């Protein structure tokens, strides 16, 4: 009997424990609160179609418009001049940049000129007897002949007899030989073709210069050109003489240039056309990197927005009664940060700043930006 009572008590205790545990679990059950509906705030603009100036960005390095690469056409020792032949040295127009020792060749030229003078002198007695009518002009020619100066032109020969006589004595051959030697003698000195500055010097005084050797580079530092490549789509819109705004790399200074030349050939690889922008400023130096904005054309009935607002399928978000929607647009020009759109209805409220997780049908709250 005792065992039966203990068994019944154990069963009752177990049942009571299970019941108590179930009551405890039920007492801890809480109702999950309903999440609050969050409305994102969006920035909007009202569409006002207008004429948008399309600016084509380009960049490049400045190159002097007038530049000369100095080469030697003769051989000799580089003589010291009035100015040191060093990079950065300025010269005036007509001033000697390089002088090569020509003493030996100069003596050959003088010998040839003396031979010509002797030839003309030897025919004077025959001219006095056979051609007295031309004797006077040849006498004047001899009187004006100076071995220290450039050989003057021969007197004009008006008759065939005179030409045959002069040519038969070898005077014409000797004259043109002297002229040829004088031309070569002039190449022993290279003079500045314009006021400018030496940007590269590859030889020094005392160097033996050889024919065909490059000696340096000389530029005009007053006028520069910027060579830029633009898309062929805008080739027929650019005009020579059109003003262009230029700026340096850190945007600290702006310059004004103009389109001076446009290449007529399209680069087959990049499908671009080269345009040259002429710019003048005392602060500019050859090799400087500049950025240009070319005013290509104006697109009427268009708007300009950030590129991040244009979706991959050429759609943008609009707001209708606090709900996001999508409309199709036609992009006509892309820049680094902006895109020009057409076929956007006038007065449409468009999203002006990207919205994270946006989708068509999304409920939003409009924040109207104050007018600037």
* DSSP string computed for 219-251: E-TT-EEEEEEEEGGGTTT--TT-EEEEEETTS
Residue with tokens 């290279």: 190
CB atoms within 10 A of CB 358: 15
CB atoms within 10 A of CB 234: 17
pLDDT on residue 8:
74
CATH 2.40.50.100, applies to 67-98+192-219: yes
* Domain spans in the chain, listed from the N-terminal domain onward: 42-53+300-368, 56-64+222-298, 67-98+192-219, 104-186
Residue with tokens 């997780």: 357
pLDDT on residue 370:
46
Q: Are 347 and 310 in contact (CB under 8 A)?
A: no
pLDDT on residue 53:
80
Mean pLDDT by 10 residues, the chain (372 residues): 70 72 63 61 88 82 93 91 88 92 92 93 88 89 89 88 88 93 93 93 91 94 90 74 86 88 84 89 90 79 89 89 89 83 89 87 76 35
CA distance 205 to 63: 28
Listed residue (166, 112, 160, 159) closest to 138, CA to CA: 166
CA distance 221 to 63: 10
Q: Please provide the CATH number assigned to the domain covering 56-64+222-298.
A: 2.40.30.170
Sheet with 315-320, strands from edge to edge, namely: 323-328, 315-320, 349-351, 40-46, 364-368
DSSP code per residue over 143-160:
HT--TTSPPPPPPPP-SH
Q: Please provide the CATH number assigned to the domain covering 42-53+300-368.
A: 2.40.420.20
Those residues whose C-beta lies under 8 Å from the C-beta of residue 44, and which sit 6 or more positions away, are 319, 349, 350, 351, 352, 366, 367, 368, 369
CA distance 348 to 319: 8
């Amino acid at each position: 009997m005792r065992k039966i009572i203990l068994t019944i008590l154990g069963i009752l205790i177990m049942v009571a424990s299970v019941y108590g545990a179930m009551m405890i679990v039920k007492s801890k059950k809480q109702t999950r609160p309903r999440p609050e509906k969050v409305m994102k705030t969006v920035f909007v603009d009202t569409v006002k179609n207008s004429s948008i100036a399309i600016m084509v960005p380009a960049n490049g390095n400045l190159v002097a418009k007038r530049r000369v690469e100095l080469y030697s056409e003769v051989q000799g020792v580089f003589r010291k001049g009035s100015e040191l032949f060093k990079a950065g040295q300025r010269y005036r127009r007509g001033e000697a940049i390089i002088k090569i020792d020509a003493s030996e060749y100069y003596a050959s030229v003088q010998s040839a000129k003396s031979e010509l003078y002797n030839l003309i002198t030897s025919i004077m007695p025959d001219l006095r007897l056979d051609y007295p009518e031309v004797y006077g002009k040849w006498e004047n020619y001899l009187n004006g002949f100076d071995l220290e100066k450039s050989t003057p032109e021969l007197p004009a020969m008006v008759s065939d007899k005179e030409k045959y006589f002069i040519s038969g004595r070898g005077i014409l051959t000797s004259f043109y030989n002297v002229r040829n030697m004088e031309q070569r003698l002039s190449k022993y000195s290279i003079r500045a073709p314009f006021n400018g500055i030496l940007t590269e010097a590859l030889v020094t005084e005392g160097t033996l210069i050889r024919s065909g050797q490059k000696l340096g580079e000389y530029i005009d530092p007053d006028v520069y050109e910027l060579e830029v490549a633009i898309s062929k789509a805008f080739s027929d819109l650019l005009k020579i003489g059109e003003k262009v705004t230029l700026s340096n790399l850190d945007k600290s200074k702006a310059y004004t240039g103009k389109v001076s030349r446009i290449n007529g050939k399209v680069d087959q690889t990049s499908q671009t056309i080269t345009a040259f922008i002429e710019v003048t400023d005392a602060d500019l130096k050859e090799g400087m990197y500049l950025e240009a904005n070319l005013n290509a054309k104006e697109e009427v009935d268009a708007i300009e927005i950030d590129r991040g607002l244009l979706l991959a399928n050429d759609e943008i978000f609009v707001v209708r009664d606090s709900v996001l929607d999508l409309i199709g647009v036609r992009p006509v020009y892309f820049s680094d940060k902006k895109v020009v759109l057409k076929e956007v209805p006038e007065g449409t409220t468009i999203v002006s700043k990207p919205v994270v997780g946006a989708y068509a049908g999304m409920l939003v709250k409009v924040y109207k930006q104050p007018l600037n």
